[in-house]
Chains A and B, each alone.
Chain A
Amino acid sequence: MCTTDGNVSGDIYAYGLGLFITHKINRLFMKINLSARTRSRLRIALSLFCFSVLFHSISFSQDTIPVKPAPKDTTPVKPATSADTAVPKNDSAKNSLKVSGTVQLGGGTADLSGTSVAIKGTQRVIPTDSSGHFIIAAVQGTVLVFSHIGYRPVEATVTDTSAINITLQREAGTLEQVTVSYGKQLKRDITGAITKVDAGNVEDIPATEFGQKLQGKVAGIQILQSSGIPGNNIVFRIRGAASLGSGNQPLIVVDGQPLNSDAAGGTGDINLIAPDQIESYSVLKDANATALYGSRASNGVILITTKTAKIGKSSVSVNAYHGLQTVPQRGRPDMMNAREFATFMNGFYQDKINNEGWVNPTTGTATIPADYANPDQYGKGTDWYNALIHTAPIDNYTVNYSVGTDKVSSSTTMNYFNQEGVLYNTGTKRWAFRTNTEYRPIDRLKIGLNLAPAYQIDHNTRGGTLALNGNRQVVSGGDISSPLISPYKSDGTFNLSTASYGMYALPNFLQQEKLMDNDQTNFSFLGNAYIDLEIIHGLHAKSTINGDFLSQDYNAYYGTQFGTFGSVPPRASSSSQAQNNSNNTRTWTNENLLTWNTQFGNHSLDVLAGYSTQKSYTTLRSITGTGFATDLTPFISAANNTSGSSNSSSWTIASALARVNYDFKKRYYLSASIRNDGSSRFGISKKYGTFPSVSVGWVASDEKFFPKSNIVSFLKFRGSYGKTGNFNIGNYTSVSLLTPANYGNTTLGEAITVLGNTDLTWETSKQFDVGADLTLFHGRVNISYDYYNTRNEGMLYPLPLPYTSGYESIQYNEGSFHIFGHDIQVSTENIKGPFTWNTDFNISFNDNRVVSLVNGTPIGGVNTYSDYNRTAVGHRIGELYGYVFEGVYMNQADFDKYPKYSTSAVGSARMLDVNGDDTIDIKDRTFLGRTNPKFIYGMTNNFTWKNFDLGVVIAGQVGNKLMNTNLQNLHNIDGIFNVTKDMQNRWRSEADPGNGKVPSTRSGTTELYRLVNSTWVFSGDYLAVKNITLGYTFRQKMLRYIKEVRVYGSVQNAFMFTKYPGQNPEVNDTKDAQTQAGLDNGSYPIPRVVMIGANVNF
């Protein structure tokens, strides 16, 4: 077992032996046929046991054979007032000096808590008091290291007792600590493409999801707010789309714990992390940075570090803001008002009478229906879009308490967030709590426990039978409702129908919006326990157990007043329906890591090896009840008929990983890593994959030959190459599955409905990245540049099979594509002094090409309806695809001259004969534009003057196209919907042909104009002023008991400059599916938020 001789190699051997024995016993358990669950429990228990024995043996051995100077100090640390707190006992024989002094910070910040003084070469650290004073006992020649987060550490050697006064200067950037895969590194030492964002810098941005805060901040990451529904709408693309159909969202890792991704059955775990719990974000972009996450890293990784307490710092802070959300005028649909619509419909029926022998069935005569007979009687009528929205509040309150001593640091964050939606009766509320505690009972041991429960209520934001946005749902349905009808009757009750004569059955969408009753509650619990033991100096063993629990419960009721597109209430109570869906997901991760850090001469070596297992298990239920006596009992217990179903789903991943970081003279860097993953999701023969990466770095500015000047202060070149993967497909898709298929009254049946693929494996991304980091003018200008070139192969995609095979698709590793681009990030301190002006600017160019697909068969662009994109070889992923609208057949001569569709007539829509076969059919659809921008950019300007601060965040994109698929409804000229104003200019006769851009309303000829075509395509270019914040800070001198108060006012989504006629140029109906990107089907509006807030530090 684990030895107790204290010998270093013995310890190591013991650790290795422990793992080995664990493994052997595990094998034995397998033989004696224990359940997988029991085995995994035993495995965890065994590894904990071994660690505890190991820990015990080492702490036991300390008294006899100290491995290194081991202080026995148990006095709690107060801000240094007593000299001997810092005196190592082993050194007490030597001459100890009492050294005192003061530390100041260069920027003039009064609060110095968190400043520390360390004795170099030991783990001894003491904090200063809040005004920067310290006293420390040290022997002559000791080197003291003074540090404060965000400032460059300064070393000073103790020579005598004279006071040491130090002023720390803000870091130039390169010495900043950055969280990387499985550890932390100084920015200077990083050879991969990583961008760090401090949460403090984005604190003022109101956000349900943390992604909103990162918009415009990081080169190479596109963050889009796909709709305005509170929560669950942020879409990430790190360096463009990496996948065809298997998710493009990055892996989110919170404090080392990889979260369950959406595609894996989770439903928005990310959303349940309160942004105020977060300390910093690291966006990992290239293979070197991400390869340690192996088979799920190809979309990039976002590492989230939550708030922890700083040693010696005790603080309470309160953040609060309150805002009002309103929908901007820009981008609202340009629908006809009442008079315009009545005029349009009057003409519509006149044409029907003239051309189609139409007779009013109510009167039996060829007369215009009464609703439209006299358009002049109407004014503006109802603006349904406006009727559906209101000004809504958003509130956020956060309290953080943190305390740090040399034995314990603990940080607790409590957060309440409440966002009402700008559509009535929608919103999200969240209560979130997180406490991160680390115990350091002895110098070489850290035990941590992080707990983060969160409870969230999503009110009417999770879809349902009637959804808020999307085709003919509330927003889109409101657009097409008749402006002749008012929402309310004269007695104040709702008008049930909003269809004027001859219109499609449309309910009152305002009534339906206010009636909506579907709530989802989400309870999540992230728990994280670790033990980190320094076996010998520089060698750490760390074992972690993470638990991620998510429980969701969805309840909806559709009563007698429920209506939807095509169905106007009231309806029979026998049709009333209630729905309950719930799921519980538990995911655990066990990680055992060894890290070893050493220096010899000019060489530094940092080695990591580990083994990790993760399992996720979900159970789900769904119950439906129909037939309710009244609407007063909206739960299934009151239903006459119920039906339900339950199921389970699980996945596992087991991985071994290793990394070596080496540098010579902090000038030449070499890093190599490898991960081996086994995943339950893949075919029996292809479960394992290996993901290596290698990178090099060279700090050229440290070379002797490098010209020393005041211009260039730092220059580093980086290069990396590596492989990562993507495993975001559903569970069990590699296996052929049967589904019950009954026939006749008595016999049970089964049929294979999913064709499995035993060769299924991850898609692989091979990434090459070169970059440089440049610092000019002593840190006033920092530039970072990366070029990358990625080849993705074996794309996971449901390969469409011909229906003749009896199957629709097979999950497949299909084809390859190529992604390339440039990321540029520039930070400048433009003006220093009493007035400061800093600018962060980033711009990213990204593009892709499909290199091959199975059989060259394109994806998408196949069906007549609802199929707007095509992915084809030689093109980009998911380009818009449809007919090219040329105008209308203005007259008989036109009609004779141009190719025709099967239902063409004079006056009908004329599409381009793309394939030149002299007829128009589905083969004449073509590519209508890219959905990925040519480049995206962001710029943040921060100004400070005296106690004022001003920040302006700008973001934008250029070069992509969007398709407003809602125009299928808004340009429907069948006389059944309200339409946009430009439909007035339709073709009515050869003598009155309109503007040549809108076809006639002749029966049977209108379908082609409703099919996907180029009139729906618009430029997606935009420049958005995302956020403007003005703050004022009251400093200590002005207030008692309170260290600092900052009050601020902020406008989120302040201005939008775009030619896109829709409301939101970041819109994306499908959110994640890049093969169906760039579509706008009438989405929930994005509000402008005006807010005030305060940050108070006690």
Chain B
Amino acid sequence: MKHIIFFSGLSLVLAAVSSCSKKFVTLYPEGQLNEGIYFKTNSDFQQALTGAYVPLRDAASIAFYLEEMRADNTFFDYNAKDRGGSGNEVIAEFLDDATNSNTQALWQANFQGIQRASTILDKLQAGKPADMSDSSQNQIIGQAEALRAHYYFELVRLFGQVPLYLHEVTDAQNAIVSRSPVDTVYAQIIADFTDALNKLSPPTFPQPGTINKGMVATELGLVYLTLKQYDKATPLFQSVTQMGYSLLPKYADVFKAANKNSTESIFEIQYSAGNNATPANGTVGANNQSSQFVYDFIPNMTSTLVVLGVDYQNTAGGWNVPTQDIVNAYVPGDIRLDASIGVIKGHLNDQTDFVPDSVVSILNNKDTAGKGMGYTTSSTHRFAKKQYNAPYTGVTQQYNTGDDWYVYRYSDVLLMLAESLNEQGQSGAALPFLNQVRQRAGVAPAMTVDQSSLRDTIAHERRVELAFENHRWFDLVRTGQAIPVLTAYGVDQKKAFPFLLSNTYNVTQNKLIYGIPSRDVMVSPGLGQNPGY
């Protein structure tokens, strides 16, 4: 009997004690925000919106491989010592497959942005915080929608069919979505941009670097241009010309660090240098907003002091190197050549590593091409100069610059408007917009009103005006020129660079979009793969 009392008493006590332990075993991190306490105030949503911009940086940091180096504007320095970059090379050579790390990184960054935008839209849908005004709500929704549309527009052009994530992912089940047809994706992009266009305000100058009505009208215009719906594109571009944008007087000034978010800037990915960018323990700090374009674009070298004004070894370089083809595309007197392409002269040391001696103008070194150019073991190198803002003094870390990436500039809008008008048969109306751009470049005005030849003139103008700004590949694809232009270019390349294998530059219809990253094909049942990958 005693024992029965004892054990029943004990079990009661144990039961009681264990139920009161629930609080004891419920812990949240002290050093990190968690979802349970977030998305409650206007400020939370503003911060989350800022977070949704961040993948723009991740995408732009590598997009040049897929959107510029794929085309005829740029190539790479063949690095015999470090073959680890062959994943970048195969993109230029059209030998890439679905395992390409750049393809995957760009895919990942854009979808991350989509998820952040959709999360904001869903959480707002569920309930507006009490302290959020209607206008604030409109600005947040408009920017989130525009971001989502922008990310999808990049994806649909690179990959074709993609899955549509219009709601927040909350668990492993709703994380898996199958791909939607290209038309459906475009319909969603147009829907998001159209709503954003209504919600957002026109730009104010100086610009804060966030998305406004001007960016949305421009990109939606490009969407219609891509879809060849010129009647819808033209009014959008026209509306942008009424928003207060203007070309800076000097082309070279557009890319100067001092002129970030200028009146010519319509959409610019914001980067900033900072000493806290990447602590040595490997975790990326919140302040890591730096870019490293210039390090990617100049050659590998033992010391960057002569070129960048700071003394680091560069092993990230030799990419997006201007080709002889693009150098030749600038007509004599075009001031954009010197503003877009630089030349670094130097010598090789005992280890056959490049040591720079000086940065010189391409105008005097236009014909250093041929033997050697395109190899890391050359003593003369070209580099894409638009993100070159040396000296980088004041920054005490390698691979850390504050150079922005330009997505849409006002000259782009003018050229798109010209193109759209020309395609609508209004070639005469197109000329003033085209010539506004040519005039600044020091190039004679175009006179022709023949639709076909004006089409070629505008396309060429786009190539030199927007060189190294990730437009060339998309322009070639959307105008149907990619296969003929790049096949011919490939023949020249193989002559210039004997290391290229015979099966390079096999430009086919399948290669006009990239392979779906094989990791996701494996992880996401039913995702499928693009033909040819």
Contacting pair A627 B24 (CB below 8 A) = no
Contacting pair A361 B375 (CB below 8 A) = yes
B34 CB → nearest A CB, Å: 5
What is the CA–CA distance of A626 and B277 in the complex, to the nearest angstrom? 12
Count chain B CB atoms within 10 A of each CB in A613, A746, A1004 and give the residue with the most. Answer: A1004
- Of A622, A740, A856, A863, which one neighbours B519 at CB under 8 angstroms? A863
A35 CB → nearest B CB, Å: 11
What is the CA–CA distance of A572 and B308 in the complex, to the nearest angstrom? 14
Contacting pair B97 A624 (CB below 8 A) = no
- Residues of chain A within 8 A (CB-CB) of B270 are 743-745
Q: A738 with B34: in contact, given A27-B20, A804-B165 (CB under 8 Å)? A: yes
What is the CA–CA distance of A857 and B525 in the complex, to the nearest angstrom? 8
Within 8 A of B (CB), among A898-943: 902-903, 905, 921-923
Q: A12 with B2: in contact, given A361-B375, A742-B50 (CB under 8 Å)? A: yes
Answer yes or no: B249 CB below 8 A from chain A CBs. Answer: no
Contacting pair B116 A806 (CB below 8 A) = yes
Within 8 A of A (CB), among B468-526: 498-503, 517-520, 522-525
- Of A19, A624, A800, A974, which one neighbours B83 at CB under 8 angstroms? A974
B289 CB → nearest A CB, Å: 6
- Of A566, A613, A748, which one neighbours B82 at CB under 8 angstroms? A566
What is the CA–CA distance of A759 and B53 in the complex, to the nearest angstrom? 30
Contacting pair A802 B520 (CB below 8 A) = yes
- Residues of chain A within 8 A (CB-CB) of B27 are 650-652, 680, 731-732
Q: A801 with B525: in contact, given A12-B2, A750-B33 (CB under 8 Å)? A: no
Contacting pair A641 B80 (CB below 8 A) = no
Within 8 A of B (CB), among A962-978: 974-976
What is the CA–CA distance of A568 and B353 in the complex, to the nearest angstrom? 12
Answer yes or no: A810 CB below 8 A from chain B CBs. Answer: yes
Contacting pair A656 B17 (CB below 8 A) = yes
Within 8 A of B (CB), among A552-580: 566-568, 571-572, 574-575, 577, 579
What is the CA–CA distance of A640 and B502 in the complex, to the nearest angstrom? 53
Interface bits A1004-1037 vs B (CB < 8 Å: 1, else 0) = 1111001000000000000000000000000000
Q: How many residues of chain A get a CB closer than 8 Å to chain B's CBs?
A: 129
Answer yes or no: A1098 CB below 8 A from chain B CBs. Answer: no
Within 8 A of A (CB), among B307-358: 310-313, 315, 348, 351-353
Answer yes or no: B95 CB below 8 A from chain A CBs. Answer: yes
Contacting pair A654 B21 (CB below 8 A) = yes
- Of B33, B119, B396, B398, which one neighbours A640 at CB under 8 angstroms? B396
Contacting pair A26 B523 (CB below 8 A) = no
- Residues of chain A within 8 A (CB-CB) of B9 are 12-13, 16-17, 20
B68 CB → nearest A CB, Å: 21
- Residues of chain A within 8 A (CB-CB) of B114 are 806
A9 CB → nearest B CB, Å: 4
Q: A922 with B24: in contact, given A648-B30, A649-B29 (CB under 8 Å)? A: no
Contacting pair B48 A751 (CB below 8 A) = yes
Contacting pair B10 A594 (CB below 8 A) = yes
Contacting pair A752 B375 (CB below 8 A) = no
Answer yes or no: A643 CB below 8 A from chain B CBs. Answer: yes
Contacting pair B51 A743 (CB below 8 A) = yes
Stretch of A386-394, A429-437, A497-505 at the chain-chain interface? A497-505
- Residues of chain B within 8 A (CB-CB) of A678 are 18, 21-22, 24-25
- Of A622, A650, A752, A806, which one neighbours B111 at CB under 8 angstroms? A806
- Residues of chain A within 8 A (CB-CB) of B36 are 735-736
| Chain A, residue nearest B112 (CB) | A806
Count chain A CB atoms within 10 A of each CB in B96, B279, B500, B502 and give the residue with the most. Answer: B279
What is the CA–CA distance of A640 and B397 in the complex, to the nearest angstrom? 12
- Residues of chain A within 8 A (CB-CB) of B449 are none
Contacting pair A905 B372 (CB below 8 A) = no
| Chain B, residue nearest A864 (CB) | B99
Contacting pair B352 A743 (CB below 8 A) = no
What is the CA–CA distance of A903 and B82 in the complex, to the nearest angstrom? 17
- Residues of chain B within 8 A (CB-CB) of A688 are 18
Answer yes or no: B6 CB below 8 A from chain A CBs. Answer: yes
Answer yes or no: B227 CB below 8 A from chain A CBs. Answer: no
* Interface residue range, chain B: 35 or more
Contacting pair A626 B396 (CB below 8 A) = yes
- Residues of chain A within 8 A (CB-CB) of B524 are 802, 804
| Chain A, residue nearest B31 (CB) | A647
- Residues of chain B within 8 A (CB-CB) of A905 are 501-502
A272 CB → nearest B CB, Å: 23
Q: A864 with B101: in contact, given A732-B28, A752-B116 (CB under 8 Å)? A: yes
Answer yes or no: B276 CB below 8 A from chain A CBs. Answer: yes
What is the CA–CA distance of A740 and B288 in the complex, to the nearest angstrom? 10
- Residues of chain A within 8 A (CB-CB) of B191 are none
Answer yes or no: B202 CB below 8 A from chain A CBs. Answer: no
A987 CB → nearest B CB, Å: 16
- Of B280, B500, B520, which one neighbours A1004 at CB under 8 angstroms? B500
Answer yes or no: B390 CB below 8 A from chain A CBs. Answer: no
Contacting pair B275 A641 (CB below 8 A) = yes
Count chain A CB atoms within 10 A of each CB in B95, B119, B281, B398 and give the residue with the most. Answer: B281
Answer yes or no: B156 CB below 8 A from chain A CBs. Answer: no
Answer yes or no: A357 CB below 8 A from chain B CBs. Answer: yes
Within 8 A of B (CB), among A777-800: 799-800
Contacting pair B279 A645 (CB below 8 A) = yes
Answer yes or no: A700 CB below 8 A from chain B CBs. Answer: no
What is the CA–CA distance of A594 and B14 in the complex, to the nearest angstrom? 12
What is the CA–CA distance of A440 and B525 in the complex, to the nearest angstrom? 66
A955 CB → nearest B CB, Å: 37
- Residues of chain A within 8 A (CB-CB) of B99 are 863-864, 921-922
- Residues of chain A within 8 A (CB-CB) of B281 are 579, 581, 622, 624
- Of A8, A499, A622, A732, which one neighbours B351 at CB under 8 angstroms? A499
| Chain A, residue nearest B44 (CB) | A750
- Of B21, B165, B501, which one neighbours A613 at CB under 8 angstroms? B21
What is the CA–CA distance of A40 and B21 in the complex, to the nearest angstrom? 11
Within 8 A of B (CB), among A416-433: none
- Of A361, A646, A974, which one neighbours B372 at CB under 8 angstroms? A361
What is the CA–CA distance of A501 and B23 in the complex, to the nearest angstrom? 66
Q: A749 with B51: in contact, given A641-B396, A802-B175, A1003-B499 (CB under 8 Å)? A: yes
Contacting pair B315 A567 (CB below 8 A) = yes
- Of A501, A579, A656, which one neighbours B352 at CB under 8 angstroms? A501
A585 CB → nearest B CB, Å: 15
- Residues of chain A within 8 A (CB-CB) of B226 are none
- Of B119, B287, B397, which one neighbours A742 at CB under 8 angstroms? B287
| Chain B, residue nearest A740 (CB) | B286
- Residues of chain A within 8 A (CB-CB) of B377 are 361
Answer yes or no: A493 CB below 8 A from chain B CBs. Answer: no
Q: A738 with B171: in contact, given A806-B114, A806-B116 (CB under 8 Å)? A: no
Answer yes or no: B134 CB below 8 A from chain A CBs. Answer: no
Contacting pair A613 B111 (CB below 8 A) = no
B376 CB → nearest A CB, Å: 9
Count chain A CB atoms within 10 A of each CB in B2, B87, B113 and give the residue with the most. Answer: B2
A-B pairs, top 3 by smallest CB distance, nearest first, are A806-B115, A749-B50, A751-B51
Q: Can you name 25 A-B pairs with beta carbons within 8 Å? A: A20-B12, A36-B23, A361-B372, A579-B280, A611-B18, A624-B279, A626-B396, A643-B285, A650-B30, A654-B18, A656-B15, A732-B32, A742-B50, A743-B289, A744-B53, A744-B208, A744-B210, A801-B176, A801-B523, A802-B176, A805-B165, A805-B169, A806-B112, A807-B169, A976-B80
A650-B30, A800-B519, A803-B112 given. 11 additional CB < 8 A pairs? Answer: A13-B5, A357-B498, A361-B378, A465-B280, A611-B17, A645-B279, A652-B25, A678-B25, A731-B29, A862-B518, A903-B503
Residues of B within 8 A of A (CB): 2, 5-6, 9-10, 12-18, 20-36, 38, 44, 46-54, 56-57, 78, 80-83, 86-87, 89-90, 95-99, 101, 104, 107-108, 111-116, 119, 162-163, 165, 169-172, 175-177, 208-210, 270, 272, 275-276, 279-281, 283, 285-287, 289, 310-313, 315, 348, 351-353, 371-372, 375, 377-379, 396-398, 498-503, 517-520, 522-525, 527
